[in-house]
Every structure is written in structure tokens, then in C-alpha cells.
Amino acid sequence: MEFYFDMDNDTYFKLLPQDAASEILSSAGEGCSLNYYLIGCAASSGTIVINDTHYRFEPFDSVIIAYNDTFYVSDYSKPTSIEDDNLPSAWRFLLVDLDAFLQTEYHHKEPSVKQIRTLLSKGSCMIRAKEQPSFTSLAARLLDEWEEHREYYRQEAVDLMRLLILELFRSRRAQIDRSHSAATRDYIEPVLAFIKHNYREPIEISDLAGVSGLSGNHFRRLFEEYTGETPNVYLNRFRVDVAKELLLRDDLRLEDVRMRTGFSTITAFYRNFEKFTGMPPGEWRKIKNTAPSLKD
């Protein structure tokens, strides 16, 4: 089943009141095949229930709610600045078509779109203003821009969304780093050290799994969870990073660089270098070696 929403003014965003936001996710449910997320900013204090888990919230806290999760606000208090008896909504929400945004507006190679999707696939989360003020401030500014429709608000919203993605990626990675068990680190850190000291040699995934002492499938899962990348992508990215350093030297041919970085063929070297830098190694060398900052 395909489930689509009419976004505001042919963009990636739609401002939603609290009740409508909850109803939309409930109606989409598991049949929604698109990658929609709700960004919410709290206007008061209370309790929000996400997938049967209760979270206390305070003003300026934020939530990220995935399209296939359910939520409702069980109670909330009136902000002290409100004097009448009509309680305002505890939350305001912005629906984001994340897939369309990443495909059209996100052009960073680090972190990659795949890394962002992997981290966001962990599900909904509560972000406390006291713990992550940078994120909650950006979220509030994004909703303000879309709500107030000031001059150039569309471009400002796109820029803020890019910053919000990067901030969320940073915070999620930090949470994952803190949550890794000592056992997981013990499995994966020796593999990273092995790559660092043996990248010049042919390396198979089975070699890396052997270093970890895990089965192939178990190793791949823990490695990607720990680094945000598959073993092959991590290894090739590491080799390309070394190649970039070597290319700053004028005395090495491209074939020499290829051999010193462990790529099996010149074709594999060119393909991976362009994948991670956006240009062939010869062009990258020419640009970097003629940059004024590198000549001084």
C-alpha cells in the first residue's frame, strides 16, 4: 500500500497540529512505504507516549517520530504565559518527507545518505533541551520559519533541515557510542586496528570476521552497528583516505599509489576514489597540488 501526503507548496514539509499529526501516523501505519518523519517541539510540560513508552517532557524539548510509530499526548499543563482557560496544544509538529529531501537537497558525502538512513531507522526518540540545546534550538527555528512564512522562508527551512540532520546524526552516533557494550568494542576495535596495519594487503571479509572471532553474519551486523558502514565500505574509505595523502606527493605515480593502498586493480582504485571524493585521483591531485594553501 502506498500512502502519500500533500506537502505544503510543493515542498518537503507540512505543518501539523498535534491531533492531526497523531491521526496521520495512525492512518499510515505499517502500510506507509515512504520515509516520513515528524519533528515536534514542546510548548509546555507533560507526558507523551510513543509506542507505549511514556516520556515526560518540558518546554522546548523535541521529538523525532518515525512514520510507522504511534504516539499520543496523555497530559500536559498550561504554559505560565497563557492566562485564559483554553489550553494550547502541548506540541507543534512538522511532517518531513525525508526521502525526497535527502535525494534533492542533501549533497554532503559525510555523513552519507545511507549512514543517515541507518541511524534514523533506529526509530523515534525524545531529545531534551537541557541535554541537546543545539538540536532543540534548530528544531524550534525550523518550525518558526515554516509557521511564520517570512521572506525566503523556504530556503531558510532547507538550510535548517540540513543542519538538523547533521546535528541529529552527531547526537545519535554519540548515543550509540555510549551504549556500545564493552564486548562489542572488544570484537570490533581489533578489526579496525587490523585494517589500519594491513590495508596494503588483500583483505577479505572472512579475514576480518576471523580477527573478531565472530561468524560472518554476526560480524557484519556488529561492524555496521558500530561504525555506521559495512566492512567493505569502511575498508575502501580507509584506503582512499590514505591515497589522498599519498597523492600530495609528486614523486608517486597513480599505479604506485594504487599498490600502496591495497586496491587489487587500477580500475578498483579509480572507482572507489571517485566514489568517495567525487573525482578521479589524477584530477584530485591536480586540484590539491595547485591550491595556494598547499604551496605555502
64-88: pLDDT as tens digits:
988 778 888 877 775 544 444 444 5
Gap between the Cα atoms of 88 and 35, Å rounded: 29
Q: Is the pLDDT of residue 34 over 90?
A: no
Residues 86 and 173 in one domain: yes
Of the candidates 17, 33, 39, 108, the residue with the CA atom closest to the CA atom of residue 68: 33
Residues 190 and 174 in one domain: no
Gap between the Cα atoms of 106 and 43, Å rounded: 29
**CATH number of the domain that residue 221 is part of:** 1.10.10.60
Residues 158 and 208 in one domain: no
State the pLDDT at residue 22: 74
Q: What is the number of structural domains in the chain?
A: 2
CB atoms within 10 A of CB 148: 8
Handedness of CA 158, 161, 163, 166 (dihedral sign): negative
- Backbone phi, psi, residue 8, to 5°: -70, 125
Give tens-digit pLDDT for 239-292. 999 999 999 988 999 999 999 999 999 999 999 999 988 899 999 998 887 755
Gap between the Cα atoms of 43 and 139, Å rounded: 13
Look up residue 5 and give its three cell numbers: 501526503
**CATH number of the domain that residue 65 is part of:** 2.60.120
pLDDT over 70, % of the chain: 84
Residues 18 and 158 in one domain: yes
Residues 188 and 151 in one domain: no
Gap between the Cα atoms of 135 and 159, Å rounded: 14
Residues 291 and 194 in one domain: yes
**Mean per-residue pLDDT of the chain:** 83
Look up residue 17 and give its three cell numbers: 497540529
DSSP state of 87: P
Quick one: pLDDT band at residue 42, thresholds 50, 70, 90? very high
Residues 70 and 142 in one domain: yes
Indicate the range of 30-34, 149-153, 186-190, 208-212 predicted with least confidence.
Answer: 30-34
Residues 98 and 237 in one domain: no
The two most distant CA atoms of the chain are separated, in Å, by 77
Average confidence (pLDDT) over 145-149: 92
Average confidence (pLDDT) over 176-187: 74
Q: Is the pLDDT of residue 27 over 80?
A: no
- Backbone phi, psi, residue 234, to 5°: -60, -45
On whether residue 3 sits in a domain, the answer given is no
Structural domain harbouring 163: 8-179
Beta-sheet pairing, 36-42 with 91-97: antiparallel
Last residue of a domain, one of 131, 146, 179: 179
Indicate the range of 115-119, 124-128, 192-196 predicted with least confidence.
Answer: 115-119
Look up residue 107 and give its three cell numbers: 549533497
